[in-house]
Amino acid sequence: MHTISWIAGQLGMAPGTVRAWEQRYGIVRPTRSGGGYRLYDDEDFETLRAMVGLVAGGMHPAQAAERVRSDRSSVGRRQGGSAGASAGLPDPAVLVEASRSFDVRAVEDCLDAAFAAAQFEYVIDVWLTAALAELGRAWADGDLDIAQEHFISAAVMRRISAAFDAGGHARGGPRVVAGLAPGAIHEIATLAFATMLRRAGVRVTYLGASLPIQSWVRSVRAIRPDAVVVGAPRTSDAQAAAEVANALREAEPSTAVYVGGAGAGADRIPDGTTLAEAANWLADALVEVPARSGVSG
């Protein structure tokens, strides 16, 4: 067993960083000595060493933690051990089955299990993406009615809304306004992205679905954010999103405007492959922007 001082010295970290990663990302669970001191085993050391390497290579700590957790789960599956189930994520098909009978308890239990098992960003980008894909296929094949699809979507939105509220309000730093283009009503990805930004320490004001262009302009003039994120979840939202971006650039040329989703064009966030990567990129980019004064989000 190793003390936190030994771990920190071997990895070139501050002990406070080790504690922060433990508490924030849950990637290690040290035991306690009789005197209450943290004690880490060899597996904890290897986990932290892997994360240090990823962060040193430029990866955001939250993403590094998810990569380490995912790799550890993959090893467990290959070895036939219990580590593969360490994330404890339910089968995405459970949501589809629960929607068939409008089983509220089953949906809530499934979402509880998912969000308790892994970090918010991982659940959204990996588990929920797969679950919604299953739901979409079932609806497209005629196995689900639109009411059943809406039933699940509403439950997911409630859960993400709770996470957005729990993200809190940063007292300083960059500010972002997020919402959806006129006519765009599928909020899950945009609200999840806004939640990830909040969790990254960005002050976020979320304006909701299908916001008219003039409402966008008035809101941005009142809030005076450092950046705006316009959600365009479907390719059919592309024109409306581009019109919002153009109107905002004309009205507030000093405000950066980004579009996210399938309808994003030239204003697309350089997001890599996941919402978390996009949120981390934007949060990091805004750190270098002097925060503007204005109405608090």
Strand partners of residue 39: 3, 31
Q: Give how far the C-alpha of residue 188 lies from the chain's centroid of Cα atoms, to the nearest Å.
A: 11
Sequence-ordered list of residues with C-beta below 8 angstroms from that of 34, at least 6 positions apart, any chain? none
CATH architecture of 2-82: Orthogonal Bundle (1.10)
Q: 133-160, pLDDT tens digit by residue?
A: 888 888 888 888 999 999 999 999 999 9
Report d(CA 258, CA 267) in Å as an integer. 5
pLDDT reported for residue 93? 86
pTM of the entire structure?
Answer: 0.70
Quote the tokens at residue 198.
Answer: 């909040």
Domain ranges across the chain:
2-82, 93-165, 170-287
Other C-beta atoms closer than 10 Å to the C-beta of 29 total 10
Name the fold adopted by 170-287: Rossmann fold (3.40.50)
Confidence grade of residue 79 (pLDDT, cut at 50, 70, 90): very low
pLDDT of residue 72: 63
Mean pLDDT computed over every residue of the chain: 84
Q: Mind listing the pLDDT tens digit for each residue in 217-272?
A: 999 999 999 999 999 999 999 999 999 999 999 999 999 999 999 999 878 887 56
At the second CATH level, the architecture of 93-165 is Orthogonal Bundle (1.10)
Percent of the chain predicted with pLDDT > 70: 88
Instruction: Name the 3-class secondary structure at 39.
Output: strand
pLDDT of 127 over the 80 cut: yes
Q: How high is the pLDDT of residue 85?
A: 35
Burial of 129 (0-12, 13-18, 19+ CB in 10 A): middle
Strands (E), the chain: 2-3, 31-32, 38-40, 175-180, 203-206, 227-231, 256-260
